[in-house]
Amino acid sequence: KLEKLGIHTLQDLLFHLPLRYQDRTRIRPIGSLRPGDECVVVGEIKAADVLQGRRRSLLCRIQDGTGTLTLRFFHFNAGQKNALKPGGQLRCFGEARPGPSGLEMVHPEYRQQRDEGLVAVAETLTPVYPMTEGLQQNRVRALIQMVLDELDEQAIEELLPAPLRDKWQLWSLVDSLRYLHQPPADADQNLMLEGKHPAQRRLAFEELLAHNLSLQKIRLKTREQGAPALPAQQSLIPRFLDGLPFPLTGAQQRVSAEVSNDLSQPFPMLRLVQGDVGSGKTVVAALAALQAVENGLQAAVMAPTEILAEQHYINFSNWLEPLGIEVAWLAGKLKGKARKEQLAKIVDGSAKVVVGTHALFQEEVVFHDLGLVVVDEQHRFGVHQRLSLREKGRNGDCAPHQLIMTATPIPRTLTMSAYADLDCSIIDELPPGRTPVNTVLIPDTRRNDVIERVRAACREGRQLYWVCTLIEESEQLQCQAAEVTCEQLRETLPELRIGLVHGRMKPAEKAEIMAQFKAAELDLLVATTVIEVGVDVPNASVMIIENPERLGLAQLHQLRGRVGRGSVESFCVLMYQQPLSQTGKERLAVMRQTTDGFKIAEKDLELRGPGEVLGTRQTGDMQFRIADLQRDSDLLTRVRQLAGQMADYPHQSQQLVWRWLGRGEEYGNV
Ligand code: ADP
Ligand code: MG
């Protein structure tokens, strides 16, 4: 049963912290009780009667001179009733609730008080622990009490070195644990409920530190591996830049220089590139790939979805083939002869750049000489997937360089925790000439108005997206919904040329429709959220998103980034389903107020929490026992500084990772 609570060792018991506390340290006058108070009272029994009603119940009335309280029992036996003799003293603990005749306690704990003068109360607050079926609160309390009785520095090692603890004014581990399991009567319960007590912060700090150290460890191990040094050769890159129809932005230049410098080192680059939607990350990736190719090595570019991988394949082919570089393509759906051909080009090294989905990292794919891995839209991959990529590119003692690009900005606190193993570059500038998108919120009761606006916009020569969102996490349902919507729109707007793309169509079909839309042969494109990534049609200037309340802010931001790419004023219509929850309202309001992806990401974190923001895959990696990234975000800077100083304490560092992350080999052994 303990195992169900994640408790395997005595130490786990110690870290099984109370959810809240009961105050049994003093006896409250009955007259002072308010509904909801959970407390101890002592009173004289005035009456005990069985009430025959809809539900038979035993009612016992007690008085203490300040007021009267009713005790109500639905489960009782005759012996119990008979023991409650008028005149006796009763001590009870329970929650006061409003009843038919004043305050009452339902099924309180109670005890007869033989000697009126002798009223023992608890010395500390009483912990209430998370429980599981079949395991009583009292049993958990007793077990933890046993461990606490033995608790001292010998029983559990203090892993934060004293000088550092003093410097950062952190409580000792033993003091913190004792305090949290047995807080003194005057402890600030509100502070503890918020998780902000110094004892809790000390533990959260330690846990965050352990996570940080484990990522550092991964980072160090990777650094220890050699990597091929890939200095910039000035051969392909100038030709590539000359061929681009635009100059790089200052931010693109800065970030590319950082990447270029990393690549020239004899140990693996581990760099995260963040940039808002449309900030031009693809060019930065292409420049990195070219630097690998200039040095005679291969570069792999991986995207999380087929449609995005295709888009990259098209871009990279267009850019690189004129330079005489062959680009290979691999996705799960590629089968038979075509697949064999691509695999052959990858293994014999004739394909210098390989673009694909995670199919790139299947066993059968063998690279000739992989020097660089670019992973786009990182937030869908977890730390463990990142590790497996590193393995894949391993060539003898050498690891490939790694460039990770996120689709949308990640809040700083999350970067500092989830990505502590990476260096970070930020493209903080959009290419010139973008016009900010006007975002409007419209309830779906005004669907007909929206349809009329679509008609009018098309008459002006605009192109539009109509995005159907998930009904559930079912691709099939989503595609059906898009099909139905498309039919309805075709009926209502017969004069428009309307196309449909969704995730269940064949890649060739999708590409065909996208090409038509790009060539302005379609006025309106009905799509599922598959267009979230990768689609680039500058003439499309209006996007209607149905049921935007179902999507995360980052995803909405990503979708909205598909418009506002040309020079005309763009619109994004969020057609929400009424009624919206309070959070729903707040979230959509954020979309209207700002187009800054970094601000949106912070807000998303605040409203939805880290698991949602990083994506489900990532959540598993981000599970904390005590820390909470939102609540404890202010600790992260200090955690990082302290992690740096832990280098002098290898034993403690190792133990910390073990204590909090288990001996999970996946973390240590890279
Ligand atoms: P994201 O960062 O969202 O991946 P992309 O790399 O897809 O952005 O770039 C978005 C669009 O901006 C593309 O059409 C790309 O060609 C264009 N672009 C990229 N860099 C520049 C630039 N320096 N000046 C003008 N347009 C650019
Ligand atoms: Mg991109």
* Ligand 2 centroid – CA 285 distance (Å): 10
Residue 637 has pLDDT above 50, yes or no: yes
Instruction: Give the per-residue pLDDT at 389.
Output: 63
Residue 531 has pLDDT above 70, yes or no: no
pLDDT tens column, 29-66: 999 999 999 999 999 999 999 988 888 999 999 999 99
φ, ψ for residue 241, nearest 5 deg = -65, -40
Q: Which residues contact 380 (CB under 8 A, 6 or more apart)?
A: 304, 615, 617, 618
pLDDT tens column, 278-289: 899 999 999 999
CB contact at 8 A, 645 and 167: no
pLDDT tier at 670 (50, 70, 90 boundaries)?
very low
- Sign of the alpha-carbon dihedral angle for 435, 441, 445, 446: negative
* Ligand 2 centroid – CA 425 distance (Å): 15
Q: How many helices (H) and strands (E) does the chain have?
A: 25, 21
CA nearest neighbour of 544 among 444, 467, 446, 459? 467
Structure tokens at 161: 């070195």
Instruction: Give the per-residue pLDDT at 669.
Output: 40
Instruction: Give the per-residue pLDDT at 393.
Output: 63
Instruction: Give the per-residue pLDDT at 304.
Output: 80
Residue 317 has pLDDT above 50, yes or no: yes
Which residue has a Cα nearest atom 10 of ligand 1? Answer: 278
CB contact at 8 A, 296 and 335: no
Mean pLDDT, to the nearest integer, of 115-142? Answer: 83
Q: Which residues contact 512 (CB under 8 A, 6 or more apart)?
A: none
* Ligand 1 centroid – CA 279 distance (Å): 6
Instruction: Give the per-residue pLDDT at 363.
Output: 78
Q: Which atom of ligand 1 is nearest to the CA of 248?
A: 23
Residue 339 has pLDDT above 80, yes or no: yes
Distance CA 535, CA 384 (A): 29
Which residue has a Cα nearest atom 9 of ligand 1? Answer: 280
Q: Which residues contact 64 (CB under 8 A, 6 or more apart)?
A: 29, 30, 31, 41, 42, 43, 44
pTM over 0.75? The answer is no
Distance CA 391, CA 399 (A): 8
Element (H, E) at 558: helix 553-560
Q: Which atom of ligand 1 is nearest to the CA of 315?
A: 16
Which amino acid does the sequence have at 582?
Q
Mean pLDDT, to the nearest integer, of 80-86? Answer: 90
Contacts 24+ apart (CB under 8 A), 260-265: 260/232, 260/287, 260/288, 260/291, 262/401, 262/423, 263/229, 263/230, 263/231, 263/232, 263/288, 263/291, 263/292, 263/372, 263/401, 264/229, 264/230, 264/231, 264/232, 265/227, 265/229
Query: With 0-12 CB in 10 A as exposed, 13-18 as middle and 19+ as buried, what is 448?
Result: exposed
Which residue has a Cα nearest atom 16 of ligand 1? Answer: 280
Distance CA 562, CA 559 (A): 6
- Check residue 115 and report its DSSP letter: S
CB contact at 8 A, 67 and 105: no
pLDDT tier at 301 (50, 70, 90 boundaries)?
very high
Structure tokens at 34: 């308010």
Element (H, E) at 272: strand 270-275
Residue 407 has pLDDT above 90, yes or no: no
CB contact at 8 A, 443 and 576: yes
**What proportion of the chain, given as a percentage, has pLDDT over 90?**
53
pLDDT tens column, 430-461: 898 877 899 999 999 999 999 999 999 999 99
Q: Which residues contact 359 (CB under 8 A, 6 or more apart)?
A: 330, 331, 332, 334, 365
Q: Give, for ligand 1, the residue of 256, 277, 279 to mutate: max count of ligand atoms closer than 8 Å to Cβ.
A: 279
The per-residue b/e assignment along 494-513, b for 16 or more CB within 10 angstroms, e otherwise, is eebbbbbbbbebeeeebbeb
pLDDT tier at 617 (50, 70, 90 boundaries)?
very low
Instruction: Give the per-residue pLDDT at 620.
Output: 45
Distance CA 592, CA 601 (A): 14
Compute the chain's Rg from CA coordinates.
32
Instruction: Give the per-residue pLDDT at 625.
Output: 84
Element (H, E) at 548: none
Proximal ligand: closest to the CA of 280: 1
* Ligand 1 centroid – CA 572 distance (Å): 20
pLDDT tier at 180 (50, 70, 90 boundaries)?
very high
- Sign of the alpha-carbon dihedral angle for 563, 564, 566, 569: positive
Proximal ligand: closest to the CA of 561: 1
655/417: higher pLDDT: 655
414/546: higher pLDDT: 546
**How many Cβ atoms sit within 10 Å of the Cβ of residue 412?**
17
Average pLDDT value for the chain: 87
pLDDT tens column, 540-585: 999 999 999 988 888 888 889 888 877 788 999 999 998 888 888 9
Q: Which residues line ligand 1 (CB under 6 A)?
A: 246, 248-249, 252, 275, 277-283, 431, 536
Indicate the length of the chain as a whole number.
670
Q: Give, for ligand 1, the residue of 283, 426, 535 to mutate: max count of ligand atoms closer than 8 Å to Cβ.
A: 283
Mean pLDDT, to the nearest integer, of 297-310? Answer: 86
Structure tokens at 521: 């042969």
pLDDT tens column, 223-246: 888 899 999 988 899 999 999 999
CA 351 to chain centre: 36
Mean pLDDT, to the nearest integer, of 383-412? Answer: 73
Instruction: Give the per-residue pLDDT at 269.
Output: 93
CA nearest neighbour of 341 among 362, 358, 326, 324? 326
Instruction: Give the per-residue pLDDT at 118.
Output: 53
630/402: higher pLDDT: 402
* Ligand 2 centroid – CA 150 distance (Å): 56
Residue 271 has pLDDT above 80, yes or no: yes
CA nearest neighbour of 558 among 367, 213, 308? 308
Element (H, E) at 112: strand 109-113
SS (H, E, C) 317-367: HHHHHHHCCCEEEECCCCCHHHHHHHHHHHHCCCCCEEEECHHHHCCCCCC
Q: Which atom of ligand 1 is nearest to the CA of 536?
A: 14
Structure tokens at 602: 């912070």
N-terminal to C-terminal alpha carbon distance within the chain: 34
Mean pLDDT, to the nearest integer, of 344-349? Answer: 94
Q: Which atom of ligand 1 is nearest to the CA of 561?
A: 3
* Ligand 1 centroid – CA 359 distance (Å): 26
Structure tokens at 430: 């959009």
Residue 615 has pLDDT above 60, yes or no: no
* Ligand 2 centroid – CA 215 distance (Å): 26
* Ligand 2 centroid – CA 185 distance (Å): 56
Distance CA 93, CA 42 (A): 9
Mean pLDDT, to the nearest integer, of 377-402? Answer: 67
